[in-house]
Amino acid sequence: MKRVFLCGPLASDGLRQLVLGSAPDGAPARLADHALGAAGETVSPLPAPGASVAGLVMELDAEAGARLLHYQTATGHEARTLAVEGAPALVFFAPPEGLEPWDEAAWGALWGPIVAATAGDVMAFWPEVPAERIARRYRLMLVQGASRVRAAADPGPARRRHAAQPGDVRIVRRTQPYANFFAVEEYDLSFRSFGGGMSPTLNRAVFISGDAVTVVPYDPVRDRVLLIEQFRPGPLGRGDAQPWLLEPIAGRVDPGETPEAAARREAVEEAGLDLGALLPVASYYPTPAAKAEYLYSYVALAELDEGIEGIFGMEGEGEDIRGHLMSFDEMMALIRSGEICNGPLLLTAFWLDRERPRLRGA
C-alpha cells in the first residue's frame, strides 16, 4: 500500500476514476507551506510558506499505485515524499517554470475536459506502452484530446445517415503500433450493420493527428489571394516527382485554442499576415477511411498589398514556406491546369468562386 496525497484535478472523482481505474475514498488533508500553480494544462504544488493546499490522502494498492505513477510520469510529474498531516506521503510535482496561481474555475472550464479526454488516451495503453514514451508526445496527445472534446460537443446532424446510439460500436482491443509526431492506432471492433445485428470483429487502422485549420486570405478590392508553397512528404511517399505544393495557410489547433484563433496564429507564422474577418467555408473529414483529422476551412478578408510575399515558417519546426500573391483568376487557372492539387484549397477556391461577387460587392 502507498500513502499518496492528491490535489488539484486529481482530487476530483472523474479524473481519479480514469487514472486509478476506480475512485477510492480519501481523507481530506492539507499540504502545508504550498500553493497550487498552473501553466496551461499542468497543475502542480509549489512552495509557498504559510499557505496550504487542500486535497485527499489515500492508501493505494499496488495496481492503483502503478497506474497513478504511470499517469503522473506521462504528464511530466515526479514524486516526492513529504509530510502530510503528520505522516509521509507521495506528492507529485511538475517543473515550476511558468506556474502561476491556479484559478480552479477558469482552468476547469478550459482545460478540464481536454485533460480528462487525454487521460483516457494515456490510460488506454497502460501498462503496454511505457510512461516515458507517452511523455515524449504528451503535448501532441493533448491536441487529440482537444479534438475529442470538440467532436463530442458537436457530433453533427443525422437526418439521413444512421443516428449512432450507445453500443453501436464495440471496441474489443485498441493498440498503438506507432507513435511519434503522429500516431497510428489499431482497433479490433464491430459495428451496427444496416442489415441488423453487429458486424464480425474487424481490424481497422487509424492515422491519429488532430483537428486543423486552413485559411485562404482574400482581398476583395484587389481581387487576389495569398497562397503558400512548401515541401510535403505525402506526395514524396506516393512517388510524386513534384512534392512542393501550393496550399492554403494551415496548421494544427493547439489544445486550449479555438479554430479561429489557430487560423490567425498560423497566418502570422506562415505568411506574416494579420487577418480580417474569418468566413467559414466548411468543416469536414478529408480522409475518413483512414485518418482522424478534422479540418476547419476559412476564407479571410485581408489587405494584400504588393510586396507582402516572403519566406516564412517556424524554424524550430523545420518549416520552409514561400508566399505567392496572385489574382483570383490565376488561382482558378492553376486549378484547371492541375498545378493546384491540394484538397482543402480546391474546396475553398470553389466556395470563393461562388461567394466572390457578394464579397466584392460588399
CA angle 9, 123, 206 (to 5 degrees): 120
Annotated active-site residue in 59, 317, 330, 355 = 317
* Element of type H or E holding 81: strand 78-84
CA–CA gap between residue 183 and residue 209 (Å, rounded) = 7
Relative to beta strand 42-60, strand 27-39 is antiparallel
Sign of the Cα torsion 338, 340, 344, 346 reads: negative
Residue with cell 506528492: 91
Residue 328: CB atoms within 10 Å: 19
Q: Is 317 a catalytic residue?
A: yes
Sign of the Cα torsion 326, 332, 333, 335 reads: positive
Nearest 10 degrees: Cα torsion 282, 286, 270, 306:
-60
Residues tagged active-site: 317
